[in-house]
């Protein structure tokens, strides 16, 4: 399958897409082996494996032949509902032992999971950015869990990070192959389920996950909100995300991808570690991260022309 450039594309030559299948096959194969060896709880395995496979398959089908948005969204919510049903009863601590009621949290969690798998799709628009982000988020969470004495989740997250690294070799600017919706949606879904599962077990605070995902969350959410506020057709393809504006401004995918890597390593990772080591101040670390990212987003919007 070739991705032919159009007026909304950030690439200029036809490029094969659907390479995210490698990530899906490698990670799910490793995950299934871990479950066979009794290293993964069965309910967690079913929640992530079945839901992730469904999201990947509908994404791969969409890469081949476009699926209507409402059907994609319905399937995404079905996958999220499946996962949260299987994960069972759990609660998350947010503000000084304030715990949301389970029904409210699960409902909000399903919406957040669907948003995460879609924002990975939205942010997979220049070479190397989505795969390097997934490597950072999975690897960063694994290191934090390791520092806090975690076990099995570290190996699983490093396996996901490793599968993405193998793909990044071919997706690094200038990319020889694209991830496609199947791969990007799968990564968003898997990271969302990992976030809720590990945070509910207390092996890592949820704020750390939100900080690690900060670049993608802020750019995708702020851009969507801005387009809705401007009365634009927000559901149509566009090139107005901050990372796309910067890639046109500098004429380089590599510079922008490396810039995101630097923000992740130098700003977000230390704050995520701080949030987990000092959980009572977790939301302050998250607030600091998001305020900084929002200021950067506003600066990019002020300096660049999102519509050019």
pLDDT of 15 reads: 67
Helices and strands in the chain: count of H runs, count of E runs:
13, 4
Which of 89, 93, 183, 209 has its CA nearest to residue 129?
A: 183
Range among 79-88, 121-130, 184-193, 226-235 rated most confident: 184-193
Q: Categorize the per-residue pLDDT at 4 as very low, low, confident or very high, splitting at 50, 70 and 90.
A: low
Q: What is the mean pLDDT of residues 51-57?
A: 95
* Measured distance CA(119)–CA(113) in Å, rounded: 10
Which strand (E) or helix (H) includes residue 211? helix 206-212
Pairwise pLDDT comparison (251 vs 139), residue with the higher score: 139
Is the distance from CB of 256 to CB of 129 less than 8 angstroms?
yes
Give this prediction's pTM: 0.92
pLDDT of 6 reads: 55
pLDDT of 151 reads: 77
Residue 253 has pLDDT above 70, yes or no: yes
Domain boundaries, the chain: 17-303
Matching residue, tokens 């799910």: 28
**Maximum separation of any 2 CA atoms in the chain, in Å:** 53
């Amino acid at each position: 399958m070739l991705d032919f450039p159009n007026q909304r594309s950030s690439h200029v030559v036809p490029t094969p897409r659907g390479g995210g299948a490698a990530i899906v096959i490698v990670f799910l194969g490793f995950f299934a082996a871990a479950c066979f060896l009794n290293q993964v709880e069965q309910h967690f395995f079913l929640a992530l494996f079945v839901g992730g496979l469904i999201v990947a398959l509908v994404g791969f089908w969409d890469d081949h032949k476009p699926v209507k948005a409402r059907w994609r969204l319905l399937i995404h919510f079905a996958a999220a509902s499946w996962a949260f049903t299987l994960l069972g009863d759990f609660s998350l601590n947010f503000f000084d032992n304030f715990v949301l009621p389970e029904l409210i949290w699960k409902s909000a969690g399903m919406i957040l999971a669907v948003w995460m798998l879609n924002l990975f799709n939205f942010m997979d628009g220049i070479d190397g950015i989505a795969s390097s982000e997934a490597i950072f988020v999975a690897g960063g969470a694994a290191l934090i869990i390791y520092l806090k004495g975690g076990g099995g989740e570290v190996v699983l997250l490093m396996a996901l990070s490793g599968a993405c690294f193998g793909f990044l070799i071919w997706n690094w600017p200038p990319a020889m192959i694209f991830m496609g919706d199947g791969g990007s949606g799968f990564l968003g879904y898997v990271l969302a389920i990992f976030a809720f599962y590990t945070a509910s077990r207390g092996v890592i605070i949820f704020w750390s996950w939100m900080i690690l995902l900060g670049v993608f969350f802020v750019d995708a959410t702020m851009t969507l909100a801005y387009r809705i506020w401007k009365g634009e057709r927000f559901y149509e393809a566009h090139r107005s995300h901050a990372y796309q504006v910067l890639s046109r401004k500098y004429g380089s995918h590599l510079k922008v991808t490396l810039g995101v890597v630097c923000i992740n390593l130098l700003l977000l990772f230390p704050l995520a570690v701080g949030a987990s080591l000092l959980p009572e101040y977790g939301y302050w670390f998250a607030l600091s991260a998001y305020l900084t990212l929002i200021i950067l987003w506003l600066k990019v919007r002020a300096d660049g022309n999102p519509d050019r």
